Amino acid sequence: MLTVSLVLAYLTHRWVEQPVSRSASRIPPRVPLAFAATVLLIGGAASSFSIHQMQTQRSSAPSLAELEQEDYPGALATLEGVEAPEGVEFIPDVQTLAQTRPDYYDWGCRQEFGDGENRGEVLVCEDPDSPAEPDLTVMITGGSHAGQWHHAWRILAAEHNWELLIADKSACLLTEPTDPEGNQCHEWNLNLLDVITERTPDLVFTAGSRVPNDDGPENIESGAPEKWQQIMDRGSEVLLMRGTPRREDSVADCLAEGGDAQSCGMDPVSYQQDNPLTAPDLPGGLYTLDMTEHLCEEQVCPAVIGNVAVYYDKSHLSNHYIESLAPLLKDQLREEMPHLF
C-alpha cells in the first residue's frame, strides 16, 4: 500500500538529505533527486495509517492504495533515480479512465455552468472527514482546474488535521469581468466573496494561469488578480496553481483507440517560458505552485507517467495521478508556505 510512511520517507530525503533548487524555465529538467529504490518498497510497512484507511465515505473513487507501489510510481517516476518497470499495464484501464473524476462530483454540491435563475447561488461541499477542531481550513474554488486537485488536498488534510471545503461551479474562474451583465459567473463570484467572509478559510486554493483551448499561449484570466486581492482583503491567504496542459480530444479516447503515452500526450508549446504567476505586477502576498516538472518533458506532456494515466479527458488529471502527486504537492507547499505546517 502507498502509506504515509512512503510520504514521510520521501519528505525526509527531500528536506534532510538532499535539498534541491527549482528551475524557472518553461519545462524544468527532471528533478535531480536520487530517490532510493528501497523507499518505493515501503508499501507494506508497519504504518498504522494509510491513504486507503483515510478514504472514508467514498464508493468507487480510484486509489493507488492497494496496488504495488513499485509497479505504479506515477508522478514519483519524474524524480531522478526512480524508474517505472516495463511490461506493466497502466492504470486506470481504458474502460474506467474517463470516470476517474474527483469524488466530490458525486456529492451533489458541484454546480453546473448557468443554472438559470439560481446561477448566483453558491453551494459549499462540506468536508465529510472534517476534524472536530481543525488546525487549518482550506477552500478549493474557481473551477474544475482547481477542483481536480481535491484528492491530493484530501490526503494532506487527513494527515495534518485540516478541514477541506469546496465551492466549484463549472467554468467559473475567479475573475472580475469587464461585462458583468453578460457574464454567467459574475453573480456567483460576488456571492462567493460573501461565503468566504462567512466561512473565513485560512487558505483559498485556486487555478492561477490558464492554458487555453486554442493554440494561444498560457495566460492569466483578465480580472483574476483583482479577485485574488479581494479574497486576501477578507483575511484569507491565496494559493495559485499553474495551469495544466490541454489537447483537442480526450486522452481517455486516444488511449482506448490504441494510442500511447507520447501520441496521446499534450504539447507543452503553450506554456510561457517564464511562469506568468511570478510576474511582478501581480498583487503582493500571493503564493504559487507549479507542478509542470511532474507533468511535462521538454517535447511532450505524456499521457502516461510511471504506469499511471495522467489525464481522464482533454485537460483534467486523473485521481490516480493526483494521488501520486500528493507527496510532491506537499513538498512544494512546505517550501512555499512553511507556516502552514
What's the grid cell of residue 48?
498504522
Query: Can you give the pTM of this predicted structure?
Result: 0.83
* Mean pLDDT on 332-336: 98
b (16+ CB within 10 A) / e for 235-273: ebbbbbbbbbbbbeebbbebbeeebebeebbbebebbbe
Whether the per-residue pLDDT at 122 is higher than 70: the answer is yes
Which residue from 338, 1, 2, 297 is spatially nearest to 152, judged by alpha carbons? 2
Q: How many domains does the chain have?
A: 1
Query: pLDDT tens-digit profile of 217-227?
Result: 899 999 999 99
Question: Is residue 158 within a helix (H) or strand (E), and if so which, with residue range?
Answer: helix 150-160
Task: Look at the block and give the residue holding cell 499534450.
Answer: 266
Please give the DSSP secondary-structure letter assigned to residue 322.
Answer: H
Res 34: pLDDT: 36
Give residue for cell 511562469.
275
Closest CA to 204 of 275, 272, 280, 124: 124
pLDDT for position 53: 40
- Provide the pLDDT for residue 238: 99
Query: What confidence score (pLDDT) does residue 17 get?
Result: 41
Which grid cell sits at 206? 485556486
Amino acid 117: pLDDT: 66
**Predicted confidence (pLDDT) per residue in 68-94, tens digit:** 788 999 999 999 999 999 999 999 999
Q: Quick check: 156 pLDDT over 80?
A: yes
pLDDT tier at 115, thresholds 50, 70, 90: low
What domain range is 180 assigned to? Answer: 4-340
Task: Report CA 140 to chain centroid distance, whole Å.
Answer: 10
Name the nearest CA neighbour of 199 among 132, 147, 123.
Answer: 123
**Cβ(254)–Cβ(303) below 8 Å:** yes
Q: Which residue has the higher pLDDT, 85 or 38?
A: 85
User: Mean per-residue pLDDT for 20-36?
Assistant: 41
- Written as one string, the DSSP assignment of 179-227 is SGGG-TTHHHHHHHHHHHHHH--SEEEEE-EE--SSSPPPEEPTTHHHH
On the question of pLDDT at 273 being above 90, the answer is no
Residue-level pLDDT at 66: 74
Instruction: Return the closest-CA partner of residue 227 out of 265, 191, 201, 267.
Output: 191
Type of residue numbered 308? V
Least confident of 16-20, 148-152, 177-181, 277-281: 16-20
190-217 pLDDT per residue, tens: 999 999 999 999 999 999 999 887 677 8
Strands (E), the chain: 136-141, 162-167, 203-207, 209-210, 219-220, 237-241, 287-289, 304-305, 308-309
